[in-house]
Chains A and B, each alone.
Chain A
Amino acid sequence: MNPVLILLSVVVLSLSACAQVERAEITSDRDEETAGARLYAQYCSVCHGNHGRGGVGVPLALEDFLESVSNQYIERTIRLGRPGRVMPAFPRLTDQEVQAITEYVRSFHWADEPLFSSEPVEGDPELGGKLFIAFCARCHGANGEGGEGTGVSFSRPTFIPILAPALNNAGYLASASDQVIKRSLALGRERTPMRSLSAMGLSEQNIDDLVSYIRSFQTLSADRAAIKRPVDAVLVQQSPHSYEQTIERIRQAVVNSGHSVVREELLGEGIVDPGEGERKQYVVYFGSLQIISDGLAHDPRMGLFLPGKITIVEHAGVVKVLASNPEQYTALFNNIALSDFAAMLHGIYLAIFKEATS
């Protein structure tokens, strides 16, 4: 065979192979984008919005946010979540999945991942504490517990694009390196209430002091992050009264507790034929506009449990009143801001049960 032909064949084959490799790379990149988009749609868009504009979760498509956090910050946030602050942890996602989601989130704003030094910041936490009270506590809380409430529509004015994050949260502190915190403080976040502390006149040493103070929250956060389910998911109380009397006593107890009966019906009305046998399962919905409004303000997903619901059943000759235990809501919604509200609701249920079954 002609050596020139052989050489040409080799060159052509090599070029062809290179082209295939390039196509394979592009296809693979597109696959990763697609995978990232699919995973984002599956796991993230429900709270953060289809285009990262936020919702129950904070907006991600903020230029300043993406320019001041590392991929590692995003990946750890996905892995660890924010215990007690709505964002769940995703421990079962593979590393590849987490990376694909991170790349997709990064694509909301086309810029390279910012580089961060791994050097820890050295500052004076005591001085930082004073600066924190002066510059940060108004939004982030005196102990870095963050702003109250979640959700765009229900819990805060829509002109505020994000809530102040909880800086004492174990998930945040484990995700954000010192340098990530430092850059966020120095640059702030445009189009959010978070202003640049450098622009406000703080020196680099001041900001280092603040970082050291925020880092000191790490020792406090573990206990605060512990959200446990209550032992009993259902509140139940036996009634010494007849089924009919118990229903009437529940109505009266609801009113005496300062609330209204919103509606009442046989359990499953509209689904189960009311004419089928003598069913002794009755539901009384109750509440007040203030309670419903407060519950939704804490977390719009509370709509799943509001207004309050009490069932009265007669089973094997025994009359009982039952309700889902509000103390499970904090864990269910991963929202520690619901704790006091849930405890208050729990108290209302117990008071109604006690009066109706006494």
Chain B
Amino acid sequence: MISRVGLCRWLGTLLLLLVPGSLWASDLLMVRSQLASADVQPRLEEEINALGYFTANARRVDIDLVGAGFARGAYRSITYGKPDEIKALSERYPELTPFLPPQIAIIDERGESLLVALNPRYLAEIFPHPKLADIFERWHRDLQMILENIRDAR
């Protein structure tokens, strides 16, 4: 009888691990990395490039703030995309351009980093065009993988 309980608990635990995470169902995708933001940025570029995306504008954004006395802590930004895709989407769907190319913000938090990006599924909600759905879903999948790899990087 007790071992049956144990089995049930084990199956329950297994179930827990199989249930897809709803973190990824939110409007933002966020992960924490144990790496400092300066170290995260090149790793992030590597992960993005590994999936066939180009990166641009990888930079520390807060330098002017700090220089002017608005000291807040390091904050970086990076944009990425596939050239043909960004070109085609921006030409066919100009209303998408405020969200192109996709961006990831890296916020320094006491030596760790918080990475934040708009969930491509959010774009699918606000631009419910059937031809865009597959693209946003792939972006979501890829971004999720990129961020998970950064989260687990040591």
Q: Which of B57, B83, B98 contacts A322 (CB 8 A)?
A: B98
Does B12 make an interface contact (CB < 8 A)? yes
A24 to B11 alpha-carbon distance, docked (Å) = 12
**Contact residues, B64-105 vs A (CB, 8 A):** 64-65, 68, 70, 72-73, 75, 77, 79-83, 86-87, 90-91, 94-95, 97-101, 103, 105
Determine how close the nearest CB of chain A comes to the CB of B77; give it in whole angstroms.
Answer: 7
Asked whether A271 and B54 contact (CB < 8 A) given A46-B114, A153-B107, the answer is yes
Does B116 make an interface contact (CB < 8 A)? yes
Which residues of B does A touch, CB under 8 Å? 2-3, 6-7, 9-10, 12-13, 15-17, 19, 21-23, 25-28, 30-32, 34, 54-57, 61-62, 64-65, 68, 70, 72-73, 75, 77, 79-83, 86-87, 90-91, 94-95, 97-101, 103, 105, 107-110, 112, 114, 116-118, 122, 126, 151
Beyond contacts A42-B21, A90-B22, A153-B109: 11 other A-B pairs, Cβ-Cβ < 8 A, are A20-B3, A55-B114, A94-B16, A96-B15, A154-B73, A236-B95, A267-B100, A271-B101, A293-B72, A315-B94, A322-B97
Query: Are B13 and A88 in touch, CB under 8 angstroms?
Result: no
Residues in B with CB closer than 8 Å to A322 are: 94-95, 97-98
Does A164 make an interface contact (CB < 8 A)? no
Query: Are B16 and A268 in touch, CB under 8 angstroms?
Result: no
**Contact residues, A63-94 vs B (CB, 8 A):** 88, 90-94
Determine how close the nearest CB of chain A comes to the CB of B6; give it in whole angstroms.
Answer: 4
Query: Are A268 and B86 in touch, CB under 8 angstroms?
Result: yes
Determine how close the nearest CB of chain A comes to the CB of B67; give it in whole angstroms.
Answer: 9
Shortest beta-carbon contacts, A-B, top 9: A270-B56, A24-B6, A153-B73, A303-B105, A92-B22, A293-B70, A233-B126, A31-B13, A311-B97
Does A313 make an interface contact (CB < 8 A)? yes
A24 to B10 alpha-carbon distance, docked (Å) = 9
A268 to B90 alpha-carbon distance, docked (Å) = 9
Query: Are B9 and A28 in touch, CB under 8 angstroms?
Result: yes
Determine how close the nearest CB of chain A comes to the CB of B119; give it in whole angstroms.
Answer: 9
Residues in A with CB closer than 8 Å to B126 are: 233-234
Residues in A with CB closer than 8 Å to B83 are: 268, 271-273
Q: Mark A35-59, 1 if CB is under 8 A from B, else 0.
A: 1001101110111011000011000
Residues in B with CB closer than 8 Å to A100 are: 13, 16
Query: Are B94 and A153 in touch, CB under 8 angstroms?
Result: no
Q: Which of B27, B32, B75, B95 contacts A300 (CB 8 A)?
A: B75
A185 to B27 alpha-carbon distance, docked (Å) = 35
Determine how close the nearest CB of chain B comes to the CB of A202; give it in whole angstroms.
Answer: 35
Determine how close the nearest CB of chain B comes to the CB of A324; give it in whole angstroms.
Answer: 4
Determine how close the nearest CB of chain A comes to the CB of B15; give it in whole angstroms.
Answer: 7
A310 to B40 alpha-carbon distance, docked (Å) = 28
Residues in A with CB closer than 8 Å to B31 are: 46
Interface bracket on A:
35 or more
Query: Are A35 and B13 in touch, CB under 8 angstroms?
Result: yes
Query: Are A35 and B17 in touch, CB under 8 angstroms?
Result: yes
Q: Can you list 30 pairs linking A and B with CB atoms under 8 Å apart? A: A21-B6, A24-B3, A28-B13, A46-B32, A56-B109, A88-B26, A91-B22, A92-B22, A94-B15, A94-B19, A152-B109, A154-B73, A267-B97, A268-B83, A271-B79, A271-B83, A271-B86, A271-B101, A289-B70, A290-B70, A293-B65, A293-B72, A296-B72, A300-B73, A300-B75, A300-B114, A304-B118, A306-B61, A322-B94, A322-B97
